[in-house]
Amino acid sequence: MINTSKNRREFLIQTPGIIGLGIVAGGVLQAEEASAATGKSKVIVVRNPKAITARNICDRKQAALMIEKALLNLTGKTSTIEAWAALGVTKNDVVGIKPNCNGAQFPLYGHSELVYALCDTLTALVAPNNIIIYERYTSELSRAGFNVNQSGSGIRCHGTDKGGGFDEREGLTRIVTDTCTKLINLPSLKVFSGFGGSLFLKNHIGSIAPGEMSRCHGNTEFISQVCAQPGIKNKTVLALCDGLRGTYTDSDPWYWGGILVSRDQVAAEYTALQVINEKRRAEKMSPIEIPEYVRLADTRYNLGTVNPANMEISRIEM
């Protein structure tokens, strides 16, 4: 089980398996250089108990510190503006952020404070109006505590119902295909029946037309197909999981107080599932198996790696 330390520590996990095993010390630049040399996918795990309260109130400043720490460790840079540039973001990009505002089975929405803290780091490089927080419906964003904004100033925030509908060729929201040049996938850490962990791949169900939802039933591979569409696959620069408050069953929440970030959505999904399984083991429950669609995202759709031997996971306790 991952334990929260009172001290500020940074670790680089070199060996495959559950987070917390095979730990050796490593600095930010050394970790990035090691990742580049080995060709392994980096996943950064940051926990900060000050970022969330037992009443599910997120501290935006503490969330910002977590995000900054994660970005710098992921890229090996010394400032967030350099980190975003290293991730391929330019001042001319329009960056779309897809949070999880789906309340099915358990109302676990992404924390708006965390998302806006992420936006704060982006605005060092990108104009606020070139950032779009989106979902399928504008009402979903409003319900989750986001500030709806369709104006020509400030961070934009609206659904596809207010953003031009869906592209017929790719079956994706035009916010993704026509408006955004870069994407950030930002799901919540939760379990969802039929899909195992409802994480990065499933989060983009909110990017498809409502009429396509039926294709997900009995065909979990479909969500990997969605993420393999050029509009998503070629534009995604960051995967970030909101794990401040998560679920380890369909209805049992717990305050994990952390985030995960990676350039590799599949490696991030694998790592997040290990976090859920550590909690399940602590509760004497059987672990969730890695879903087949996650494996296919690697072997068939080349969206990332599901093999822990091909990952390097850095753990940071704040």
**Position 3 pLDDT exceeds 70:** no
**Assigned token pair, 253:** 């929440």
**Residues written for the chain:** 318
Mean confidence (pLDDT) of the chain = 85
pTM: 0.88
**Position 288 pLDDT exceeds 80:** yes
The reported pLDDT for the residue numbered 35 is 53
The reported pLDDT for the residue numbered 197 is 56
**Position 87 pLDDT exceeds 70:** yes
pLDDT digit string (tens) for 211-256?
777 776 667 788 889 999 999 999 999 999 999 998 898 888 899 9
The reported pLDDT for the residue numbered 36 is 55
Domain 53-310: CATH superfamily is LarA, N-terminal domain (3.40.50.11440)
Q: Please provide the distance, in angstroms rounded to a whole number, between the alpha carbons at the two ends of the chain.
A: 17
Q: How far is the C-alpha of 85 from the C-alpha of 65, rounded, in Å?
A: 19
Q: Which of 22-26, 238-242, 310-314 has the lowest mean pLDDT?
A: 22-26
**Position 20 pLDDT exceeds 80:** no
The reported pLDDT for the residue numbered 250 is 81
57 close to 14: Cβ distance less than 8 angstroms: no
**Position 11 pLDDT exceeds 60:** no
pLDDT digit string (tens) for 252-287?
889 999 999 999 999 999 999 999 999 999 999 999
Share of the chain above pLDDT 90, in %: 65
User: 78-110: b or e for each residue (b if 16 or more CB lie within 10 Å)?
Assistant: eebbbbbbbbebeeebbbbbbbbbbeebbebbb
The reported pLDDT for the residue numbered 195 is 58
The reported pLDDT for the residue numbered 196 is 55
Q: Pairing between strand 41-47 and 23-25?
A: unpaired
The reported pLDDT for the residue numbered 221 is 83
Q: How would you classify residue 38: left for phi > 0, otherwise alpha for psi between -120 and 50, otherwise beta?
A: alpha
Higher-pLDDT residue of 199 and 25 is 199
